[in-house]
Amino acid sequence: MNGYRVFTWNPQRFPRPKEMNEQLIKQGVKVITIVDPGVKYQPHSAVAEQAANSRNPELGPKEKSYYVFDQGLEKNYFQHRKDGKLFIPKVWPGESVFVDYTLPEARKWWGDLHRAYLDNGVAGIWNDMNEPSDFVDQTGKNQSDVISYDEGEKSSHAKNRNVFALLMARATYEGLARLRPDRRPYVITRAAYAGIQRYSTMWTGDTNST
């Protein structure tokens, strides 16, 4: 990723990702990339619109404009606190925002963003950190006043926390199915809830060797 921004490529380490993955595919290697729910909090800059409007924004510079944050903010797809302010936890990118996956429109948008990977030869998606993890507070108290759309009920994160990862996996699965209808989507998830078998396989989380 470019600075831990999801749906981007590091231009120094992976300047030609499609070409690289095409070479790997010829060797029988199928690439799976991790996608976290934390979208880097990067307030919109009026200086740079080009990256947001280009056909392949995942490959362009991100210092002045980050298309995923810009689009999600414009469409009001991110979680908010009860007072209406954006919920800004911290994960790998630093200050971040989470998508409200209870919004059908947000799930479709998130799913379609995977074009940034599929167009460049990625075979599958690995959802990580999707409890969701928050470096500010591991107890969940920092999320206690977060509100989700929840079919119009505008309910608390306490109610929706368990389905956060389920709906993220659903968004991912349905996005891959739309973008590549001739192939069965391959999705892995760290967190889940009842019904996850419809959208993803699981692994048990990071463990220590003893």
CA distance from start to end of the chain: 31
CA–CA distance, 185 with 187 (Å, rounded to integer): 6
CA geometry: angle 188, 32, 135, nearest 5 deg: 65
Asked if 206 is an active-site residue, the reply is: yes
CA–CA dist 122, 11 (Å, integer) = 16
Closest of 186, 194, 69 to residue 124, by C-alpha: 186
Residues 82, 157: contact at Cβ < 8 Å? no
Our CA angle for 200, 177, 54, nearest 5°, is 115
Quick check: 44 and 73 in contact, CB under 8 A?
Answer: yes
SS (H, E, C) 89-141: CEECCEEEECECCCCHHHHHHHHHCCHHHHCCCCCEEEECCCCCCCCCCCCCH
Query: Which member of 36, 58, 70, 131 is catalytic?
Result: 131
58, 100, 128, 134: the active-site residue: 128
Instruction: Please say if 145 is a catalytic residue.
Output: no
Using the Cα atoms of residue 61, residue 63, residue 64 and residue 67 in order, give the sign of their dihedral. positive
**Residues recognised as catalytic:** 128, 131, 206
